[in-house]
Amino acid sequence: MCGIVGAIAGRDVVPVLVEGLKRLEYRGYDSSGIAVLNGVEVRRVRRIGRVAEMEAAALEKGVAGQLGIGHTRWATHGGVTEANAHPHISQGVSLVHNGIIENHEEQRERLRGLGYVFESQTDTEVIAHLIHHHLSHGSADVLAALQAAVKELTGAYALAVISAAEPERLVVARMGCPLLVGLGEGENFVASDVSAIIQATRRVIFLEEGDTAELTRDGVQVFGEDNAPVQREQHLSDVSLASLELGPYRHFMQKEIHEQPRALADTIDAVINAGSFDASLFGANAEAVLSGITGIKILACGTSYYAGSTAKYWIESIAGLPCDVEIASEYRYRQAFADPRHLVVTISQSGETLDTMEALKYAKSLGHTHTLSICNVQESAIPRASELVCYTRAGAEIGVASTKAFTTQLAALFQLTVVLGKLHGKVNAEQEVDYLEQLRQLPGSVQHALNLEPQIAAWAERFATKANALFLGRGLHYPIALEGALKLKEITYIHAEAYPAGELKHGPLALVDEAMPVVVIAPNDSLLEKVKSNMQEVRARGGELFVFADQDSNFSASEGVHVIRTPRNVGVLSPIVHTIPVQMLAYHAALARGTDVDKPRNLAKSVTVE
């Protein structure tokens, strides 16, 4: 969704802003803009569409300067127009904003009464006028005006502000939306996401809720919610430039699918090296917390929710603990029952999904005290708000359709399951060794599944012409069917649904005819015979079956039944291996249909709005 970048330097900052905005493109946006201060004049360029168009316009106008802010906008308040794009300006005060101001209507009326004229329909313009109002009514400088203005706002914001009258400072504020400061030599930066400034510096400070900060060329001062100076810890970001670049691949999604053996190996590295599943994986205090809990509640959205849905099967059968999984946006608005002895596990690739964050806050407000976050982005909002943390080590995921983040979430959840199983006396030493061995073999099995790409690409050609598809799975593989259908929907725009195969006869079977491809995830497990019967139900109605079986499954292709064999059954970790083919099916079908694989229409990478 929206992205922020800002810089104050001894050089022209326009290339820094443009490169930063390009690196934020993956989050999803519909317009972009920059405002740059050169002497006492603010030059602003905004465009609908790609950052490249805005960059060309900035070049043509010769915009340059040593202080500037930039933004990619995802429309919420007001349509996709140049007038609604950021930065917004109020008489020399320029600002970019991520988040949503809830009391913007009330503030707009008030500011109109004070003579301000609005040029956009955004909630953001209110903040620009409010800061200007404070500047002209007693605030000593733009920092003081920003600090006064944010006290009058309700809602969520990350803000970066420059003032034409103060060319020596860039001021910022954070509440409810991520914002970090990048520390350079004689130059400093601000961004909503570390990827936007990683080309300039790795040294970062993550601002906390309620913080404001002032950046000059030579230093950064952070202030807490009470406006008193505070020290915030410096971190060295581990995001690599290579993970943000395409390399030899056509799309980030393709790159990220192929990175999975490495991403999984990195995520399980600590367990493999230690030769045991230790609670300390989840934090110093994890052993005490995890031994004392009596159940698990998982909260997540989208693909992360499907990771949680898979984990439910593991946690109940291996760790012997009750586990329920809930879509975060549903949970946060219902009168839920809270058992404080249950551990709340949030799963989020980005760590900033608003619904998941709000669900976590709601769970705490209901009395949950033990929380664990499984996340791929260091120091993002959700892990910071959690008692225990497990970072997946997938590396930056740029494609909107989540791939390596999902399989690494599954690996982390499996590790959590075995740790819980040990602590609750359900996994003995022999079983632990066995799980360790299964985990050790996982990256290799995933690589083996990746080698099926040519066969899957051939199937995908046939899917590309279809209007609908059904995905079936049972047990542990039902969430993988859901994930397969979601991947296909997201990037090909083919309508796809997933069902537990046993549910077919209770309704969805009515959809099946010759035009309906039915993808079946049919590993060689205890449910295979049941799945085979469900496949017969489809065949009998003329439906065409595309079956992902295991190498050691005992069945073969026939008229209307196409079979691709993944490696031999890998036991409880089979859902991870069976995810690879459905990802590749969606990817190749999207290629055949010519859709925008990495930036599918209407979707954003980080969903920071409701």
Binding residues for ligand AGP, per CB under 6 A? Answer: 301-304, 348-350, 353, 356, 400-402, 490, 607
For residue 487, the minimal CB distance to ligand AGP (Å) is 7
State how beta strands 468-473 and 495-500 pair: parallel
157 bridge partner residues: 175, 176
- Shorter beta-carbon distance to ligand AGP: residue 28 or 182: 28
Tell me the C-alpha distance between 71 and 598, whole Å.
20
When the beta carbons of 29 and 189 are compared against ligand AGP, the nearer one is 29
Element containing residue 548 per DSSP (H, E):
strand 544-550
Instruction: Determine whether 513 is exposed, middle or buried from the number of CB atoms within 10 Å of its CB (0-12, 13-18, 19+).
Output: exposed
Q: Which is nearer to ligand AGP, 122 or 260 (CB)?
A: 260
Nearest to 538 by CA among 563, 511, 564: 511
Residues in CB range of 78: below 8 A, 6 or more apart = 84, 120, 121, 122
Least distance to ligand AGP, CB of residue 303, Å: 3
Smaller CB separation from ligand AGP, 356 or 407: 356
Nearest distance, CB of residue 140 and ligand AGP, angstroms:
40
Q: What does the block give as tokens for 348? A: 């989020």
Cα 150 versus chain centre, distance = 27
298: alpha, beta or left? (left if phi > 0; alpha if psi -120 to 50): beta
CA distance 67 to 188: 10
Quote the least distance from Cβ 582 to ligand AGP, whole Å: 12
Shortest spacing between CB 353 and ligand AGP, in angstroms: 3
Kind of pairing, strands 31-38 and 41-48? Answer: antiparallel
Contact 479/305 with Cβ under 8 angstroms?
A: no
Q: Which residues contact 506 (CB under 8 A, 6 or more apart)?
A: none
List the structure tokens of 553.
């499954």
Helices (H) and strands (E) in the chain, counts: 18, 25
Measuring CA to CA, which residue among 426, 494, 423 is closest to residue 460? 494
Nearer to ligand AGP, 124 or 356 (CB): 356
Least gap, CB of 73 to ligand AGP (angstroms): 19
User: In the complex with ligand AGP, which residue's Cβ is closer, 300 or 343?
Assistant: 300
Smallest distance from ligand AGP to CB 588, Å: 16
Q: Which residue is nearest to ligand AGP (CB)?
A: 302
Residues involved in catalysis: 2, 605
Query: Which pair of structure tokens corresponds to residue 254?
Result: 């393709």
Measured from the CB atom, the residue of 122 and 267 that comes closer to ligand AGP is 267
